[in-house]
């Protein structure tokens, strides 16, 4: 298929106060980012975490950076060690750090320095129910979220679970940044539709950068 946007410059779409979609922002670095995901998964493999309520998550996850997001019987937490390997999570690849820095700067969060990167892998049918990212102690830091591979429908609401939802298709190379007044807005991913992407096959990947430790 002829892709009319293949050579287009990235463009921005306002999402909410403090929130923006940087369309195709990561496209030129997508192959290197995917290589980084492979490197991370070679050290800390993708796994389906179990929620405190006993449900197996449909999204497969791993982490890189100083801290990694994980679940246990008591709740959600950030840990310095991968509970599967017992070792520290692999370091954030340099291309992850530079992409995150450039995206945060473009979105108006020039100070953002992530110490955690959650890597999500969606197979057909995988979804992330509506939730808030609220396990981070310092809510001054934004969330930077990078989409790679198959497209997915992103839901973005408000501070209340039943606030009206925007539904936006996130495609290969899109970056969403939210912070400030929208830092705790509910969001989720609808079940992945079947498809084949030239770079990622039957999967969608997402990188979510956070600051998970409090910084003075």
In whole angstroms, what separates CA 157 from the centre of its chain? 17
Q: How many residues in the chain?
A: 216
Ranges assigned E (strand) in 49-181: 60-64, 68-72, 75-79, 116-122, 128-131, 143-149, 152-156, 166-170, 175-178
Task: Give the nearest distance from C-beta 172 to ligand SIN in angstroms.
Answer: 12
From the list 59-67, 95-103, 112-120, 126-134, the region that binds Fe ion by CB under 5 A is 126-134
Q: What is the dihedral of CA 193, 19, 175, 52, to 10 degrees?
A: -60
Which is nearer to ligand SIN, 87 or 134 (by Cβ)?
134
By CB under 5 A, name the one of 82, 115, 133, 136 that touches Fe ion. Answer: 133
The pattern of x and - marking residues 137 through 156 that bind ligand SIN according to CB under 6 A reads --------x-x------x--
Instruction: Report d(CA 23, CA 5) in Å as an integer.
Output: 11
Among 185, 208, 209, 211, binds ligand SIN (CB under 6 A): 208
- Nearest CA to 199 out of 34, 12, 17 is that of 34
Is position 206 an interface residue for ligand SIN (rule: CB under 6 A)? yes
Residues contacting ligand SIN: total by CB under 6 A? 10
Interface residues with ligand SIN (CB under 6 A) are: 120, 128, 145, 147, 154, 170, 187, 189, 206, 208
């Amino acid at each position: 298929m002829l892709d009319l946007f293949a050579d287009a410059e990235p463009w921005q779409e306002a999402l909410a106060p403090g929130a923006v979609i940087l369309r195709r922002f990561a496209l030129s670095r997508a192959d290197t980012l995917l290589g980084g995901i492979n490197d991370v998964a070679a050290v800390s493999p993708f796994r389906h975490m179990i929620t405190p309520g006993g449900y197996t998550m449909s999204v497969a996850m791993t982490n890189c950076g100083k801290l990694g997001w994980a679940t246990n019987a008591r709740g959600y937490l950030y840990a310095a060690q991968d509970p599967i390997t017992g070792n520290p999570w692999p370091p954030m690849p340099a291309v992850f750090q530079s992409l995150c820095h450039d995206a945060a700067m473009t979105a108006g969060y020039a100070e953002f320095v992530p110490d955690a990167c959650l890597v999500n892998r969606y197979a057909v049918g995988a979804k992330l129910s509506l939730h808030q990212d609220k396990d981070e102690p310092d809510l001054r830091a934004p969330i930077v979220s990078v989409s790679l591979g198959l497209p997915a429908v992103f839901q973005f609401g408000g501070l209340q679970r039943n606030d009206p939802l925007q539904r936006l298709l996130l495609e290969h190379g899109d970056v969403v940044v939210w912070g400030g007044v929208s830092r705790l807005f509910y969001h989720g991913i609808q079940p992945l539709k079947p498809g084949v992407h030239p770079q990622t096959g039957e999967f969608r990947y997402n990188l979510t950068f956070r600051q998970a430790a409090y910084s003075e």
